[in-house]
Structure 1
Amino acid sequence: MFRLILLLLVLHLSACSLTPGMEMKTENNFTELEVPVMKNGKMVKEKTRIVPITADLIIDRENSRLQAVNNLPPVDVSQVTYRIGPHDRLLITVWEHPELNDPGSEKIMPELAGKVVADDGSLYYPYVGNIHVAGKTVSEARTMLTHELSKYFKKVKLDLRVLSFQSHRAAIVGEVKTPGIQAMTETPLTVSEAISRAGGVTENADMSNVALARDGKLYKIDVLSLYEKGGAAQDMLLKDGDVLNIPDRKDNKVLVMGEVGKQQALQVNKGKLSLSQALAEAYGFDLNTSRPGEVYVIRPGNMNPEIFQLNANSPDALILADQFPLQAHDTVFVGTSGVTQWSRVLNQILPGSFTSMMSLAATHGM
């Protein structure tokens, strides 16, 4: 018996190193392990701080999210009205002066009719010569051309319209039915209009994380909020050169690991999954085997990892869990209690259960 007790003491002293499974090791509220982090454009190694999930944290995160929504590019009023640009095809008609119009224009194919704006934004017209029309609205170009022709003709009556819109374009890519380049016309092109022109989204589209690339910057747009809550701020006006990307949601999953009823990967549905929902989907955590005070959310980020910890020893902490939103690729980890770890050590090292060992010791008179 003495030898058995001695063996158990030795095992107890080395339980930490022999404990099967995963354990979050911390040091002064920082991880023990160094991870790659992007800082000032360079990759460095550093430990990640573990942040407690509190009411203050949830409030700060929500305010930051709302601020990000408000930081979307403002509507450019100059883009509301179409402005002529290079490669646009213009149809100009001067009444009572057929010599100035396209001969036989009624028989010309639409794609060949009219006059094309040159690369430098100029347009050649009889009597007037080269006139710069790029950046002008249709009304402004009509007025300017009428003024120039009035130097040669009396009571000029002129009509000008865009036959083919070629100068301003935006790309719609990703999970839409017909991705490609879309021309901007006299009707302003918004995010919702662009998606509609592309035939709508596919069943795999992640509407809550639409990305807009503009002028070297990337903006996140919650189109789902636009459709479900009427968030008009998300229906941005697109401009020339924009790229709108509707991402795939198939990989938008959260891993739930550790002492939960069922370890699994959960799909983030419409960008919404709280910590409490993830725990519930995993059948909660067992109070007999888990450490409720060690519920971690590990967020890899874009080379900027974050780790959050929820102390769920008190049931009212689940209010915080319900208000803490998870993100795609998060990992929820529930720690294991010391008693459970010790039990698993015995089961792995001893050739049978502890009861069987004790019975064997008694039989041999140890």
Structure 2
Amino acid sequence: MALSCKTLVASLTLLTMTGCTIIPGSHFEGIESGKQTEKLEQDLEKVNIQIIDSTLINQQKQLNTRTSKPSNLAGIDTSDYQYKLGVGDVLTIGVWDHPELTIPAAVQRTAEFDGFRVQADGTITYAYAPNIQAEGKTVQEVHAELVKRLSRVIEDPQIDIKIVGFRSQKAYVTGEVSKPGVYPVTEVPLTLIDALNQAGGLTELADWKTVTFTRGDKTEVIKLDDFYAYGDISQNRLLKHGDIVHVNRNDAQKVFVLGDVKRAGTVTVDRYGLNLARAISDAGGLNESTADANGVFVLRKRDYEQDGVIADVYQLHAKNVAALVLAEQFELQPHDIVYVTSAPLARWNRVISLLLPSIATVDSIDDLAATN
């Protein structure tokens, strides 16, 4: 049994790396069984096998506790935020006690329609104050310049300026949100989280873990889950003109449930996570007449180049009643493979033997993956 389990482990490790579908009866050419066996034994030394028990669950909980603490709680300081005017923005300007300098409100016309638009050369023109530079200036700076100009003809002018049309600066929210589109950057600071909320929030098909944030030619991954789940406000960003926030689909947030279950296929890891018990349940449960309850494996690919380990393999002895509790506490990760063997395990030896040639070398695995 121990040797068969190791053989199955090596075979399933192959599946995690190639993503290929192997059909019993197929075969691989050019590799002899002796070489297969020798390479298999070598690869088994690169697989980390663990039993899913209370000790492992406690270790994972401690690890999650350590990694879930946000590394930086520094938020966005908007205390000194000031909107800078741009071409296309519209202002209303009024001078107290001088109605001749104020455009009267008209029926069926908006303040934006009657306002002063920042022209292509970045200026606005007002009575007695032509060609005031507005682009790149704050309202306060334009106000000061207007007071200076009008003081030449009006004693102590009291001027009121408001922005009634924000047309120069925009941020974009795309992907799996309820209302993707263009959102103006205004005098009220717009953060990444604000923009997602204005876009109606994420859809059911959205990846709740991360979003991509692009500014210019630089793109970074924002850990959205760290913000919502752990309060890591360092994941937020103050948006500027041209910024793009993209919400991916959760297609990659999948776990593969294979083997002797009623509905083999993929199960989505949603925003609340996914445990082993639910993954098996969503696959219809084990085939009671043929499945080996002690042959429930979870395979998790590792970075071989970094630590010399091909995969972590976890085995659940599901015949034990306590295992059901353990399965509910064992959290899966995207791209995990849950594999349920048949009883007896020896029935899978033929399929396993067909898989062995693919783990002859790392290069041959990469070549196989490229052709599937």
Question: Which TM bucket (shorter chain)?
Answer: 0.5 to 0.7
**Contact residue 259 and residue 334 of structure 1 kept, 8 A:** yes
Q: Which runs of 5+ in 1 are unaligned?
A: 1-14, 37-46, 347-366
Q: 2:339 is matched with which residue: 327, 333, 343? A: 333
Greater mean alpha carbon deviation, residues 190-199 or residues 282-291: 282-291
In the alignment, which residue of structure 2 is the partner of 1:310?
A: 314
In the alignment, which residue of structure 2 is the partner of 1:5?
A: none
In the alignment, which residue of structure 2 is the partner of 1:42?
A: none
In the alignment, which residue of structure 2 is the partner of 1:220?
A: 222
Query: Aligned partners of 1:343, 1:116: CA distance in 2, in Å?
Result: 75
Deviation, 1:157, is 0.7
Query: Aligned partners of 2:141, 2:132: CA distance in 1, in Å?
Result: 12
**Contact residue 223 and residue 234 of structure 1 kept, 8 A:** no
Are the structure 2 counterparts of residues 105 and 189 from structure 1 closer, same or farther at C-alpha, using a change threshold of 3 Å? Answer: same
What amino acid does structure 1 have at the position aligned with 2:240? K
For the residue of structure 2 that corresponds to 1:112, the secondary structure is: helix
TM alignment of 1:153-168, pairs within 5 A = 153-168=154-169
What amino acid does structure 1 have at the position aligned with 2:93? I
Q: 2:298 is matched with which residue: 295, 302, 324? A: 295
What amino acid does structure 2 have at the position aligned with 1:309? V
1:25 matches 2:28? no
Are the structure 2 counterparts of residues 168 and 288 from structure 1 closer, same or farther at C-alpha, using a change threshold of 3 Å? Answer: closer
When normalised by structure 1's length, the TM-score is: 0.62
Are the structure 2 counterparts of residues 131 and 299 from structure 1 closer, same or farther at C-alpha, using a change threshold of 3 Å? Answer: farther
Instruction: Considering Cα pairs closer than 8 Å and 6+ residues apart, tell me whether 1 or 2 has the greater RCO.
Output: 2
For the residue of structure 2 that corresponds to 1:23, the secondary structure is: helix
Are the structure 2 counterparts of residues 31 and 249 from structure 1 closer, same or farther at C-alpha, using a change threshold of 3 Å? Answer: closer
Query: Aligned partners of 2:154, 2:92: CA distance in 1, in Å?
Result: 19
**Contact residue 253 and residue 265 of structure 1 kept, 8 A:** yes
The alignment of Structure 1 onto Structure 2 pairs a total of residues equal to 306
Query: Aligned partners of 1:308, 1:285: CA distance in 2, in Å?
Result: 25
What amino acid does structure 2 have at the position aligned with 1:341? A
**Contact residue 176 and residue 201 of structure 1 kept, 8 A:** yes
When normalised by structure 2's length, the TM-score is: 0.61
Are the structure 2 counterparts of residues 67 and 255 from structure 1 closer, same or farther at C-alpha, using a change threshold of 3 Å? Answer: same
Deviation, 1:272, is 0.9
Q: Which has the larger radius of gyration?
A: 1
Query: Aligned partners of 2:150, 2:49: CA distance in 1, in Å?
Result: 74
Query: Aligned partners of 1:127, 1:317: CA distance in 2, in Å?
Result: 84
Q: Which runs of 5+ in 2 are unaligned?
A: 20-42, 51-55, 304-308, 352-372
In the alignment, which residue of structure 2 is the partner of 1:198?
A: 199
What amino acid does structure 2 have at the position aligned with 1:156? P
**Contact residue 310 and residue 321 of structure 1 kept, 8 A:** no
Q: Deviations over 1:71-113 (max 9, x none)?
A: 9x952527844332232111111223445444x5546554432
In the alignment, which residue of structure 1 is the partner of 2:175?
A: 174
**Contact residue 210 and residue 223 of structure 1 kept, 8 A:** no
TM alignment of 1:3-22, pairs within 5 A = none
Query: Aligned partners of 2:117, 2:48: CA distance in 1, in Å?
Result: 61
In the alignment, which residue of structure 1 is the partner of 2:95?
A: 94
Query: Aligned partners of 2:79, 2:266: CA distance in 1, in Å?
Result: 47
What amino acid does structure 2 have at the position aligned with 1:90? L
For the residue of structure 1 that corresponds to 2:8, the secondary structure is: coil
**Contact residue 51 and residue 309 of structure 1 kept, 8 A:** yes
In the alignment, which residue of structure 2 is the partner of 1:187?
A: 188
**Contact residue 92 and residue 111 of structure 2 kept, 8 A:** no
Q: Deviations over 1:7-37 (max 9, x none)?
A: xxxxxxxx99xx9xx93428xxx9699869x
Deviation, 1:273, is 0.5
What amino acid does structure 1 have at the position aligned with 2:213? L
Are the structure 2 counterparts of residues 211 and 217 from structure 1 closer, same or farther at C-alpha, using a change threshold of 3 Å? Answer: closer
